[in-house]
Amino acid sequence: MNERIAKSVSKFLSLVLRHSPETIGIKLDENGWADVEELIIKCNKNGSQSQMTAELLDYVVENNDKKRFAFNDDKTRIRASQGHSISVELNLSETDPPEYLYHGTVGKFMESIQKEGLKKMSRQHVHLSKDKETAVTVGSRRGAPQILTVRSGSMHRDGFKFYLSENNVWLTDEVPAKYIEFRM
């Protein structure tokens, strides 16, 4: 498999399955699922992903570095496991978080985060990582990474809910500033 093609398919699927299914004229159901057959047909009608096949989709779901996408049991439907900006009900069950989780961001957001905590911004949840290395990768997408330590255990004891996505990203609705350690 050509990794360049697999990466471009992953990016395109992120766009369609997390943010704008209308790009190729499909609809997701309320739980974020797209019909696989329809997705393949409509991708091929859309100029930018005209090489889509069932095999390619299988490969990307299986080998994606962050396991961003998942099939349902009979592989007739596919969805993104997290990262949505459109409103979908993933039906994730609440999970007890570890004592600390990490968030990778960049310097220009720090002042605002210190004031108002971590917000969902354009997504459905605040995304947190269980290890600093992953947070560094997340922050590096935007520049020199700044890593925040979140006192998730305290938050949970204070009644905040946490969810673990199918691909092991920790999700919560917000992180008030008082639970954030701004120095490593």
Contact in structure between 24 and 66 (CB atoms under 8 Å)? no
d(CA 80, CA 34): 9
Compute the least distance from the CB of residue 14 to ligand HQG, in Å.
6
Shortest-Cβ-distance residue relative to ligand HQG: 105
Among 3, 30, 121, 144, binds ligand HQG (CB under 6 A): 121
Among 50, 91, 93, 122, binds ligand HQG (CB under 6 A): 122
Compute the least distance from the CB of residue 24 to ligand HQG, in Å.
19
Tokens of 44: 């091929």
Q: Could you give the angle at the alpha carbon of 166 between the alpha carbons of 162 and 169, nearest 5°? A: 50
Residue 163 bridge partners (DSSP):
94, 171
Among 119, 157, 161, 178, binds ligand HQG (CB under 6 A): 119
> With contacts defined by CB under 6 A, how many residues of the chain interact with ligand HQG?
18
* 49 vs 82, beta carbon nearer ligand HQG: 82
Question: Counting Cβ atoms within 10 Å, is residue 170 exposed (0-12), middle (13-18) or buried (19+)?
Answer: buried
54 to 93: interface string for ligand HQG, x by CB under 6 A: ------------x-x--------------x----------
Among 58, 89, 94, 116, binds ligand HQG (CB under 6 A): 116
Task: Name which of 55, 19, 57, 63 is nearest 39 in CA terms.
Answer: 57
* 8 vs 44, beta carbon nearer ligand HQG: 8
Alpha helices in 64-183 (DSSP H): 110-116, 132-140, 152-157
Q: What amino acid is encoded at 11 in this protein?
A: K
Q: Does 112 bind ligand HQG (CB under 6 A)?
A: yes
d(CA 88, CA 112): 27
Q: Does 169 bind ligand HQG (CB under 6 A)?
A: yes
Task: Name which of 64, 46, 45 is nearest 5 in CA terms.
Answer: 64
Positions in the binding site for ligand HQG (CB under 6 A)? 14, 66, 68, 83, 105, 109, 112-113, 116, 118-119, 121-123, 127, 138, 142, 169
